[in-house]
Amino acid sequence: MLDPSSDMAHSEPMRGFVRLGGLGDLDALPAIEAASDALILAAGHQEWDPYDSLNDWRRDAETSLSDGLLWVALTPEGNLCGFAMGLVRDRDVYLAQISVDPRAGRQGYGRRLVTRLIDAARNRGAPSLVLSTYRDLPWCAPFFARCGFVDWPPARWAAWQFILRAAEAARMPIETRQLMGIAFEDL
């Protein structure tokens, strides 16, 4: 029986699949991110975009790809509908972006993408997987909590996490954001 608070309890089973991303996937990802970000804007939040240009975004996407930390979701018809992009920061892995096209939402793609990235980070020996998200949107912090992430207090922050928080504070109200993580040595 499904836990009624779980993501899958409120969604249809995923009929597509998740795989490692490839170079040929990169051009489609910004449109998926923009569609996903439209939900955040509609909820009254400011979009968090750490990139000054599409070239900067592509550089990080290519790095994620080469590190085996870019996962993509595809519909049963084989169309890209979501992605999770992890980046190595010091020894940690940072979940820099997860986006699912709203037309494919609530079908389990997000959970499968997160699960794959958790496994990839653990398998590469990262001590933790950390992300920054909106604390009050149900598909953000509450979703990640159901995936096993916990609040990541400043006492656990590495230098790169302080830099990330400062960058967020310069672009948006910081009280809307929450650092969350999974410490693999705690599992």
> At 158, which CATH number?
3.40.630.30
In a domain, 146, yes or no: yes
pLDDT at 83: 94
Q: How far apart are CA 114 and CA 122, in angstroms?
A: 12
Q: Which two tokens stand for residue 78?
A: 């084989």
* Mean pLDDT, residues 49-70 taken together: 78
CB 7 within 8 A of CB 110: yes
In a domain, 127, yes or no: yes
- The residue segments making up the domain with residue 133 are 7-186
pLDDT at 84: 96
In a domain, 2, yes or no: no
In a domain, 66, yes or no: yes
Beta strands in 21-79 (DSSP E): 70-74
Higher pLDDT, 70 or 104: 70
pLDDT at 39: 65
* Mean pLDDT, residues 149-175 taken together: 85
In a domain, 165, yes or no: yes
CB 70 within 8 A of CB 61: yes
Higher pLDDT, 175 or 83: 83
Higher pLDDT, 42 or 161: 161
Q: 78-126: per-residue pLDDT in tens?
A: 889 899 999 999 999 999 999 888 776 676 788 999 999 999 999 999 9
Number of domains in the chain: 1
pTM: 0.81
| Cα–Cα nearest to 97, from 43, 49, 138 | 49
In a domain, 1, yes or no: no
Q: Is the pLDDT of residue 6 over 60?
A: no
